[in-house]
Structure 1
Amino acid sequence: MVGFFGVLKLEENGRNVEQGGNAFDNTKNDDLNVFENEHIQLGLLGYLDQVDQPLIFGNNRYVLIWNGKIYNGKQLRQLLENRNYTFATTSDEEVIATLFLEYGVGSFREIRGMFSMIIWDKEEKKLYGARDPFGIKPLYYYDQESFLFSSEKQPITTYIGKLPLHEQALADYLSFQYVPPSVTLTEGILSLAPGHYFIKKMDKPVEKHRYFHATLKPVYGNENMIINRIQEALIDSVKVHLPAEVPSGVFLSGGIDSSLLASIARQIQPEIKTVSVGFEEEDYSELSIAQQTAEVLGVENISYTITPQEYIDVLPTVIKLLEEPLADPACVPLYVAAREASNYVKVVLSGEGADELFGGYNIYREFESLKLFNYIPNPLQRIIHWLSNILPDGMVGKSFLQRGTTPLNQRYIGNAKIFEEKEKELILVSKRSPRQSYLHITEELFAHVEGQHPTQQMQYIDIHTWLPGDILVKAERMTAAHLLDLRTPFLDKEVFEVARKIPVECKITDKTTKAILRKAATEFVPPHVVHRRKLGFPVPIRKWLREELVEWAKQIIHDSQTEDYLNKSYVKHLLEEHVTHKRDHARKIWTVLVFMLWHKIYIEDTEI
């Protein structure tokens, strides 16, 4: 694993790449390794093993820096050798370099793996940047007086200095619980979208191109054939993701995804370890299920229980590592799981992507409950919708009527939805710039899936927003913080090719989600897992914000210097209603608290 930062010097400003490199956590890194000429500076920090980067190749024409892992390196090497290329090393770096010499920007689509990379062409004075198909590895850039690029956001802000807060991104954060992909909460700093590459020429605007588009194209076929393809693809993916002779583990919850990975991994590496975390509250803890699963599979399980006090003690560190506010309560248990795993293993398998690809979220079954609205004439639907709007908030049936009479593309923005637009008018106080509704994020995405099955539309939205904006951010950042090499076998190009062709009817039934994956897992995992309802990564935030964390939350709100952006009186009102059981505002309150803590760390420069 590496971290990199660079500057394409479009103007002389007396600064150098070390200023950005100082933002990396140098207690866990080697010294900054720098390549420099009159046009560019590339700085790289190596983690764990020494990395031979920056790599100069192509008769001294190109320079490569990258972070990631290739899983089809042997096949690519053989392909290139058949085209009369020779290799001096066995490194992934040399494969990437040689592949680029042969295919240019077409090389990115040939790679099976996770990566963010930069290639500098000295001859044409042209910079290339690319990010893996699903966005496992991040790549940030800033295109102003200088062009800056980095594997983390903070080196850019350290190099430039203070930049304004992006108010539209804040408004979007309050809806999504994360800052949607491609922008950040810092004005001017952008994130390259998954499956894209950029080309930056001297004194020209950056050009962005898509090389991979994650679309779903169902193909109807024999169910047993589909099951066999799933099994073959997953076994192959786990094999290539699991390194030989390196201590490895699996994050094991009580769900089918991690259990399936653990079962397959054990066949390949019998000494595989599993790591599970949970809470003292039984309704929110899957530790007993995970331990039972590990026992049946015959693998060692390392379990850890998180207390409310430890949770809030760890939270500031987690927010700092994330660099952007992310109000997913599962970030902290994932951090703790990675911390515990790092005591035993160097590589960890995790089940990210299974729900998005195989239809695992309960909301994907929503079309079944809303079918009756298909038989109601549009004029009557409009009347029902009007009546639902005047019903009191929290009244049983209001949400059902509103959802049933609102088109999917006007109400679904992803697996999480926190504040509606009307309520954002109450909580946001800044009027410095016109704000767009959250639909500006999803309307273009819905245009790609118009007319498709509602579940398929939801999957597409989540793959392009929720997955890279929430799921992968927390997984990559929490593991990297403990120098763990994260591997996500479900998010493999070969697995995706199988999953994208599975019809909705095989994924979703009237009783369960991920139906076809459960059938494929039957011969690998115990029955108590196959038939278990999905819980996700439950965290007792709802309970804690009524009991153990009430005073802590009040103090955060009181101390926060966010009056320029948030109506703190309204936030206090939400907390009061939650504490007194008038409403369940846990997710809304948590979203605000995480932003306030982020603001304290990154804007107020206050240690917590």
Structure 2
Amino acid sequence: MCGILGVINSGTIDRILVSKALGLLAKRGPDDFGEWQESGVYFGHRRLSVIDLAKTGHQPMVSFDHRFVIVFNGEIYNYKEVRCLLEPSVSNWNSDSDTEVILAAYAKWGTNCLKYFHGMFAFAIWDRKDKVLFAARDRMGIKPFYYHYSSSCFAFSSRPRSLFYLEPALSKEIDEQGLRFYLEAGYVPAPHSIYKDVRKLPPAHYLLVDKKGLRLERYWDYRHIQPELSWVHRSEEELLDELDRLVSRSVESRLISDVPLGAFLSGGIDSSLVVAIMAKRLSQPVKTFTIGFADKAYDESSHALAVAECLGTEHHCEHLQVNDLLQLLPTFQEEYDEPFFDSSAFPVMAVSRLARKHVTVSLSGDGGDELFGGYHYYQIAQKINHFFDLPPQLRSVITSLIERLPQHKFKLLSGALRQPDRASAFAFSRSIAKDFGGVLTLDLIERTKSIYALFSSAAEIFPRELHPSEQGMRLDAFYTLPDDYLQKVDVASMAFSLESRDPLLDQDLIEWAMKLPLQWKLRGGVNKYLLRKLAYRYVPQRILDRPKQGFGVPIDSWLRGPLESWAEDRLYDKTLFSKVPLDQSAVLALWKMHKSGKRNVHPLLWAILMFLNFFDRYGAE
């Protein structure tokens, strides 16, 4: 795991500025650093040594024939198998690293090399002969790749802030579309970033830069995969055996490491399954890590302990007061280069800090919910599916009646039902703005599109017969997973120089999950049905069966307590609001509503505060 950056320009490269850019990546790679430069081209690398700890794994790495240069962040788990495929034509190897395998694969197969790689990665290769840059990002967007392109410069980095050193003239103007998506969804979906002139390479894409310009291509796509309806009639045991083989193979491939490794353990289905398979494959007890809280509303440490004792792991748990997480606020502000809404980043940082005291690599259970139907939103989509088949006039009458019911949850349900289609209804249920009212200026709203429009457009690509619940899972996998959850874990873990791996996001497992019919994901009111059944093979059901909890943080009470003055300093700052396209009066109305206790408005308020805080620190002058 590493940090990468580079720049190709028509002018001179300022050594002082590129060194500062590389310094921002130090936590991503504390073990080694390297630089490579020739006329108009600079590559920089910070290394967290995990595979091939020798100096032969040093980057930037130059190919044996000196034609290609690479900087690489991530792991190719099947690199030894790919190396075997290459060896009839490649006999000279300088290292035992996956980096060198990528170089050799590109030299032999060109951009088609990507179809051979199983792993998480972001890399760039410079062809010194043809003057072409090739860069790629892994299939699900586990590893970040930010870039800026203009007629005179192409710059890339693992962190967007580095780009402003690589290209000093780069504007910090806010991307209006990115901001609107952020304040509606809680994240900025690729290819947008919060900056107008900075883009994110989308997952499963590569780019080429040459004298003709910039070209982006998608190299893998699961969105068109049809559920196999015949699988509805297959036996449960047969499907479980298949799923078991896929998950086990994926976990086993992610145990490759020349440094100590362990796993995050919440005690839920996904992390427990991953740890259980690790325990079967490793000769020593698995090192597992959990954060516990004195407040039982946020504590899941007892569940994790029960799983750890069942599996015989070497379990490490750090107990905190929930408010202790506030001590991580400076780290949060320093490490997240874009405004980041997801407050569960705080406990993820805490568990990463704990894990790094014992290991360099940690496995997690990310992806199980999106692939196998773990979130309650999918059951809601299932229940309201047929509503959208009703005539519009009847739908309007029913929605009006539901809206009059006293509980607030019915008002939110009516808001979802008022949407024009199923994808927009799902977007409403996932939105952090919901019915709070707009806080963006009207002219910005007129110039941009909503997250609802984005989701509806994306859903048009899916198979026509796809059930709305399955649409929701694919929308989450396509947008929310890479640009919220995976970004959260990548930044939080890298803040403590810890590599996080995601065995449930192997490409073979993803493609299989897309073929799995909905009946094996949501059944009889049980979510994640088949994956849950697989977990029961390894851990007793009585230990695993509990309500889904998640990594919660009491943002609502923080904003009425220890963070109140911090929040008001920003919310009442007229100078700050004069620089951003937000309606301060609308924001303050939300703040007063939240302080009064009439409604918890903390999701949207926290997102607004994270943007204001970001802009105050890193925005345009």
TM-score of the pair, normalised by structure 2: 0.90
Q: Residue deviations 1:136-159, cap 9 Å, x none?
A: 111111011311111221110223
| Structure 2 match to 1:6 | 6
The answer to whether structure 1 residue 250 and structure 2 residue 259 are counterparts is: no
Distance, in Å, in 2 between the alignment partners of 1:421 and 1:396 is: 11
| Structure 1 match to 2:614 | 598
Which amino acid in 2 is paired with 1:92?
Answer: D
| Structure 2 match to 1:312 | 326
Which amino acid in 1 is paired with 2:86?
Answer: L
The answer to whether structure 1 residue 434 and structure 2 residue 447 are counterparts is: yes
Determine if contact 1:281/1:540 at 8 Å carries over to the other structure: no
Equivalent of 1:113 in 116, 119, 135: 119
SS in 1 for 2:515: coil
Q: Give me the CA root mean square deviation.
A: 2.7
SS in 2 for 1:206: strand
| Structure 2 match to 1:122 | 128
How many Å apart are 1:506 and its aligned residue? 0.3
* Bigger mean CA deviation after superposition, 73-82 or 147-156: 73-82
Which amino acid in 2 is paired with 1:38?
Answer: S
How many Å apart are 1:352 and its aligned residue? 0.9
* Bigger mean CA deviation after superposition, 56-65 or 559-568: 559-568
| Structure 2 match to 1:272 | 286
* Bigger mean CA deviation after superposition, 499-508 or 594-603: 594-603
Q: Unaligned regions of 5+ residues in structure 1, if any?
A: none
SS in 2 for 1:69: strand
Determine if contact 1:545/1:553 at 8 Å carries over to the other structure: yes
Q: Residue deviations 1:73-111, cap 9 Å, x none?
A: 121111122456553432112211111122110001210
| Structure 2 match to 1:164 | 173
Q: Residue deviations 1:238-270, cap 9 Å, x none?
A: 111013563221111131101111111112223
Q: Residue deviations 1:516-543, cap 9 Å, x none?
A: 0011111211323442232222222234
Determine if contact 2:2/2:28 at 8 Å carries over to the other structure: no
The answer to whether structure 1 residue 571 and structure 2 residue 587 are counterparts is: yes
The answer to whether structure 1 residue 557 and structure 2 residue 562 are counterparts is: no
Determine if contact 1:351/1:488 at 8 Å carries over to the other structure: yes
Q: Unaligned regions of 5+ residues in structure 2, if any?
A: none
Q: Residue deviations 1:454-502, cap 9 Å, x none?
A: 1111111111100110010011111111111211110112222322221
How many Å apart are 1:427 and its aligned residue? 4.5
Determine if contact 1:247/1:272 at 8 Å carries over to the other structure: no
| Structure 2 match to 1:200 | 209
Distance, in Å, in 1 between the alignment partners of 2:608 and 2:406 is: 20
How many Å apart are 1:377 and its aligned residue? 3.1
| Structure 2 match to 1:69 | 75
| Structure 2 match to 1:377 | 391
SS in 2 for 1:282: coil
Q: Residue deviations 1:32-81, cap 9 Å, x none?
A: 52222223111222234554222222622211111111111121111122
The answer to whether structure 1 residue 181 and structure 2 residue 195 are counterparts is: no
Which amino acid in 2 is paired with 1:9?
Answer: N
In the superposition, relative to structure 1, how do residues 466 and 414 fare at CA in structure 2: closer, same or farther (>3 Å)?
farther
Equivalent of 2:245 in 196, 217, 232: 232
Which amino acid in 2 is paired with 1:23?
Answer: L
| Structure 1 match to 2:102 | 96
TM-score of the pair, normalised by structure 1: 0.92
Distance, in Å, in 2 between the alignment partners of 1:234 and 1:250 is: 15
| Structure 2 match to 1:262 | 275
Distance, in Å, in 2 between the alignment partners of 1:544 and 1:7 is: 42
1:74-85 correspondence runs (5 A): 74-83=80-89, 85=91
The answer to whether structure 1 residue 404 and structure 2 residue 417 are counterparts is: yes
Equivalent of 1:528 in 542, 545, 548: 542
Distance, in Å, in 2 between the alignment partners of 1:493 and 1:414 is: 29
SS in 2 for 1:227: helix
Distance, in Å, in 1 between the alignment partners of 2:577 and 2:305 is: 43
In the superposition, relative to structure 1, how do residues 304 and 562 fare at CA in structure 2: closer, same or farther (>3 Å)?
farther
Which amino acid in 1 is paired with 2:577?
Answer: T
Distance, in Å, in 2 between the alignment partners of 1:543 and 1:282 is: 15
| Structure 2 match to 1:360 | 374
The answer to whether structure 1 residue 24 and structure 2 residue 25 are counterparts is: yes
Distance, in Å, in 2 between the alignment partners of 1:294 and 1:108 is: 37
Number of equivalences: 602
Distance, in Å, in 1 between the alignment partners of 2:29 and 2:113 is: 32
In the superposition, relative to structure 1, how do residues 325 and 240 fare at CA in structure 2: closer, same or farther (>3 Å)?
same
Which amino acid in 2 is paired with 1:570?
Answer: A
In the superposition, relative to structure 1, how do residues 94 and 303 fare at CA in structure 2: closer, same or farther (>3 Å)?
same
Equivalent of 2:200 in 186, 191, 205: 191
| Structure 2 match to 1:512 | 526
Distance, in Å, in 1 between the alignment partners of 2:360 and 2:180 is: 38
